[in-house]
Structure 1
């Protein structure tokens, strides 16, 4: 079935025969400007200009595959659509379309005015079964155009992540230190345990932990206890000490009813170095730093600084244990370089961009981009897909863009919202 994306494409670029244009109601039509694509709720194009008969109209344009979709979507009852000056459709099923005040909306049917070869190229592109629909034709796209799309999606990715940080800032009452702490905690969950890490950070506020940052043991007691990971029937000596300390601190700070259920933590298919116990021990060590978390995040644009910062050595117990009560025959490795790079990408950079937007300081956004360009490319299934089709992925800037393009365009087959797909369709 034809998608509305195709209608957006042919209207935006005016890829249809414009001679003798008439509306379904029989009036002459001349397009001065098609308008601008609206990415938000409401009509599909804004600020369009056209003549219907002898009258010039300025307003919005709505597109549907079938004329009756206007009725199905109940636009006739939505005041947001009262400014629609043209309804473009592919199939003009008989229907009189009206605004909420009862006035008739002109309709333009495009199915008889579009080159069938263009439609065929569009259908062929969408019919591709590969992970990247245009993989076989990427060589036809100029490298500069491909790079422009990578730049665009990279900025979209950074802005989306920054929006999540700003939402968190609202939830913390505009407290940047608490926001930084909760945001960092979720990043330490490395996707699999991001949600329980986030819950934990909300249960134990930073202001409590800061009172005990001179004692790594007390930080561990607060974090492991609230995480619901203390309480084995036969604890070893260290866990027993943590349990006693946690009971005292939980009573002091009224945390007894805030424990997470142990089942929220995921262990399956994780390497031992990624176990939540190991990550919590590393996180506790980070919180012993006396500097403000936010000031540390804003301090430097040198990636090596951040990699050293995240590669902490936890307490002695967690240098020989992956879980409570089970000593490892080998020393537990510190957080690896790849994991540290992941934290830099997913914790530091979104916060820099969010802070840039909040304070209107573009230098922090530029610093985030600079850090991405310094870091090596991520090596995962998605980046390997792009490399297999001869798209170079040389830095974290490239790999983050490649991930965003794949997840939000290729997988969803949004080829007509992608500069690469549009370029191929034009050809």
Structure 2
């Protein structure tokens, strides 16, 4: 038994309402159960109840045991003063002492008594059995064995919810970054730099974007060599080149001047922060930095590139940049190769649209209070092909059709935020299976 199951019972009113009375003998009628509170404080807000024929409006707090009210010290917390019902699975309080009638009864901070409603005897045993079976399932997706029996409309509705939750969460990170920079151009630049780390080198790319501000690069954007010099120099990667060639020597000369001019040298990263292990050459940090330098140099406004254009193919085309000529036959400094180093590929450009542009549009929708930017974020994901990974593979084996990035992003969120922590009752799919009659 968990509080999550108790929330489920109350939210959907899955219990026997016949002659509903509190543990103190007061009659109860539920006019509205209230709304689940995802934040700190009482579990349900704005409920409406008739208790002994008197209408009450307020909050509901749920515990598996009645004694938890006292154990959690809610009676001393004024945030719980507006609780009108204590909902419990079992009343484990000791028998009332007639000489001390208040010792085990839940009270608010002002000493007023709180009605308690026990649900254990009012809950159908098969409901709890289905819940226990679901959460005890050994599969990575707890409902895997029953998934094909779920109504498609419920699955679609849950995927919509999961996708919006994922966008909102990522948008919150973007807004937090904007609060730091107070500049949308700088925010986009930092987001893009992190994305160019492609997970393995996300952290050093984030550090580098803070060490070399966008405004500094844009002052020299007409010279790709100078942009490269500042990025490569501050990355620390120039310091570990054992056999420098003419290109490396030129970057070092430029960096000595520009690094001193803009105070970059004090913020230089140590070379060891960059990761190379098990990376394909196309993902080497040197090549990714060269591609990033070209993209910054090509566009005076990265923000306008992502927010001012609503055509996914057009953005993808602009993202597929070719780095400077040195990188046509190099993946790292001083080591020539016969294989041509690729431009930023379609898969990488698509990754940027999914992980940088869509969250940016969602964040900007909140910033400007304009829902059309959120619609564009969703529309963008619907235009892009689905990602392919172990999570989407799991879902596809269960028959979930994953065709677009909307589908893959939703299925990833569903897996990570609901399936893995087994929050089945917060998922419309799991809740429908437990509540099936």
Pairwise same-fold verdict (TM > 0.5): yes
**Residue in 2 that maps onto 1:307:** 316
1:289-319 per-position Cα deviation (integer Å, ceiling 9, x unaligned): 2431111112322221122112111011222
Cα distance 1:388–1:234, how it changes in 2: closer, same or farther (>3 A)? same
Secondary structure, in 3 states, of the residue corresponding to 2:305? helix
Distance across 2 between alignment mates of 1:54 and 1:387? 53
Larger mean Cα displacement after TM superposition, 100-109 or 403-412: 100-109
Distance across 1 between alignment mates of 2:378 and 2:112? 50
**Residue in 2 that maps onto 1:81:** 80
Matches of residues 2-401 of structure 1 in structure 2 within 5 Å?
Answer: 2-94=1-93, 95-173=104-182, 175-232=183-240, 233-401=242-410
Secondary structure, in 3 states, of the residue corresponding to 2:298? coil
Larger mean Cα displacement after TM superposition, 389-398 or 235-244: 235-244
Secondary structure, in 3 states, of the residue corresponding to 1:335? coil
1:322-376 per-position Cα deviation (integer Å, ceiling 9, x unaligned): 2222222211112221111101111111111111221122222212211111111
Distance across 1 between alignment mates of 2:200 and 2:193? 13
In the alignment, structure 1 segments of 5+ residues that lack a partner are none
Larger mean Cα displacement after TM superposition, 226-235 or 412-421: 226-235
Secondary structure, in 3 states, of the residue corresponding to 1:257? helix
Distance across 2 between alignment mates of 1:131 and 1:101? 47
1:19-63 per-position Cα deviation (integer Å, ceiling 9, x unaligned): 122212222222211111112221110111112223321100011
**Superposed displacement of residue 70, structure 1:** 2.4
Secondary structure, in 3 states, of the residue corresponding to 2:217? helix
**TM-score of the superposition, structure 2-length normalised?**
0.94
Contact 1:356–1:365, Cα closer than 8 Å, also in 2: yes
Secondary structure, in 3 states, of the residue corresponding to 2:331? strand
Contact 1:301–1:370, Cα closer than 8 Å, also in 2: no
Larger mean Cα displacement after TM superposition, 162-171 or 293-302: 293-302
Distance across 1 between alignment mates of 2:337 and 2:67? 67
Distance across 2 between alignment mates of 1:134 and 1:387? 14
**Superposed displacement of residue 151, structure 1:** 0.9
Distance across 2 between alignment mates of 1:273 and 1:320? 12
**Aligned Cα RMSD in Å?**
1.4
1:180-233 per-position Cα deviation (integer Å, ceiling 9, x unaligned): 111111111112222221111111111100001011111111111111111125
Larger mean Cα displacement after TM superposition, 6-15 or 74-83: 74-83
Query: Deviating runs (4+, > 4 A) in structure 1?
Result: none
**Superposed displacement of residue 72, structure 1:** 3.2
Aligned pair partner of 1:403 in 412, 416, 433 = 412
Contact 1:187–1:347, Cα closer than 8 Å, also in 2: yes
Secondary structure, in 3 states, of the residue corresponding to 2:168? helix
In the alignment, structure 2 segments of 5+ residues that lack a partner are 94-103
Distance across 1 between alignment mates of 2:2 and 2:334? 58
Contact 1:58–1:85, Cα closer than 8 Å, also in 2: yes
Secondary structure, in 3 states, of the residue corresponding to 2:425? helix
Secondary structure, in 3 states, of the residue corresponding to 2:266? coil
Distance across 1 between alignment mates of 2:304 and 2:5? 48
**TM-score of the superposition, structure 1-length normalised?**
0.96
Secondary structure, in 3 states, of the residue corresponding to 1:213? coil
